Amino acid sequence: MSPAEINQELRWAASIDDAETITQLLDTGASVNAANKFGKTALMNAVESGSILATSTLLSRGADVNIETVVGCTALTFAAENGEVQITALLLERGAKLEAHTRSGLNALMLASQYDLPEMVDQLLFKGADPDAVEKNGQSPLMIAASRGYTAPAKLLLENGASINLTDKHGKSALIHAADFGENTDMVKLLIKHGAKINAPSSDGATPLIWAAGGGHTKMAKTLITEGANVNAQDKSGLSALMEAVTANSEATVKLLLANGADSDIKNEDGKTAMDIAIKAGNRKMKIQALLKK
């Protein structure tokens, strides 16, 4: 076989956790760090397929943990993307760079937060990963966890100094991401407990409650109101939580807001009230119109 073919065999052996063949190929001249046209090495293949023995063997033979693919991925980002906690530990022991990121700008800590991997989050933070690093849209690991309702990673991030009121490029905080996701009220309670500003708006002026109402997330809206959210706050276009709930056709959220003091006479920048919005929608919002008339 040619050197290129031997190296290709090495990458294949790594992907199927064949440590014996890996050793034989390296002993006969295979290059441990040889990469394919995409920049993927045998180590990356081993990591991506969860091959612990192959990973250990390659590391013991000098595999470079910080080689990057053509789009900037490393063995560590592959480990994080695939939830490989044990392999992550091996790579960190060998000096894997924490700041390496995928094509979309996500580093290992962000990926671990995105995939609800608290053990990996803990590993990375212990090794010094920055809890406030941001990806290309300005989202931090905490925002990423909050936007998916993953409280375990979020708790670890907060305990390790994550900035609670940091905002992304759209001015959305972790609390707004959690409110917009709408499915985990425990996340909102956790964030508020750690100092999240309950009425701090995004760049368009929408508060967490307005975001929750716009998604028809009644339980989330109730939690925010209980925690002190301003029921009559308006965004930059004059939209209130009540108007957003009407637009979302969420009868339950409209009822909740009205019961907690929402002003149905507030007007948006076009001079429209919640009732005007409901009437414009016609028969689709007849029940909501009835609620607003009471």
Contact 221, 256 (CB under 8 A): yes
Q: Give the start-to-end residue ranges of the domains of the chain.
A: 1-103, 205-294
Encoded tokens for 63: 């595999």
Task: Give the per-residue pLDDT at 244.
Answer: 98
Encoded tokens for 263: 């002003």
Read off φ and ψ for residue 107, nearest 5 degrees.
-90, 180
DSSP for 82-99, written as a single string:
TT-HHHHHHHHHTT--TT
Cα 21 to Cα 33, 44, 75, 90, distances in angstroms = 16, 17, 21, 21
Q: Is-same-fold flag (1-103; 205-294)? A: yes
Residue 183 carries which DSSP code? S
Task: Give the per-residue pLDDT at 132.
Answer: 98
CATH code at 205-294? 1.25.40.20
Task: Give the per-residue pLDDT at 283.
Answer: 58
Whether the pTM exceeds 0.85: the reply is: yes
| Separation CA 132–CA 118 (nearest Å) | 16
Per-residue pLDDT of the chain (294 residues; tens, 9 = 90+): 898 989 999 999 999 999 999 999 999 999 999 999 999 999 999 999 999 999 999 999 999 999 999 999 999 999 999 999 999 999 999 999 999 999 889 999 999 999 999 999 999 999 999 999 999 999 999 999 999 999 999 999 999 999 999 999 999 999 999 999 998 999 999 999 999 999 999 999 999 999 999 999 999 999 999 999 999 999 999 999 999 999 999 999 999 999 999 999 999 999 999 999 999 887 567 889 889 887
| Separation CA 67–CA 96 (nearest Å) | 10
Q: Is 29 left (phi over 0), alpha (psi -120 to 50) or beta?
A: left
| Separation CA 181–CA 215 (nearest Å) | 8
Q: SS3 breakdown of the chain: % helix, strand, coil, rounded to 5?
A: 50, 5, 45
Contacts of 124 (CB under 8 A, 6+ apart): 88, 92, 98, 108, 109, 112
Q: Minimal CA–CA distance to 50: which of 87, 5, 22?
A: 87
State whether the Cα torsion 69-75-80-82 is positive or negative: positive
Cβ-based neighbour number of residue 104 at 10 Å: 11
Contact 224, 188 (CB under 8 A): yes
The CATH superfamily holding the domain 1-103 is Ankyrin repeat-containing domain (1.25.40.20)
| Separation CA 36–CA 25 (nearest Å) | 16
Encoded tokens for 156: 């670890």
Cβ-based neighbour number of residue 182 at 10 Å: 20
Contact 104, 136 (CB under 8 A): yes
| Separation CA 286–CA 292 (nearest Å) | 10
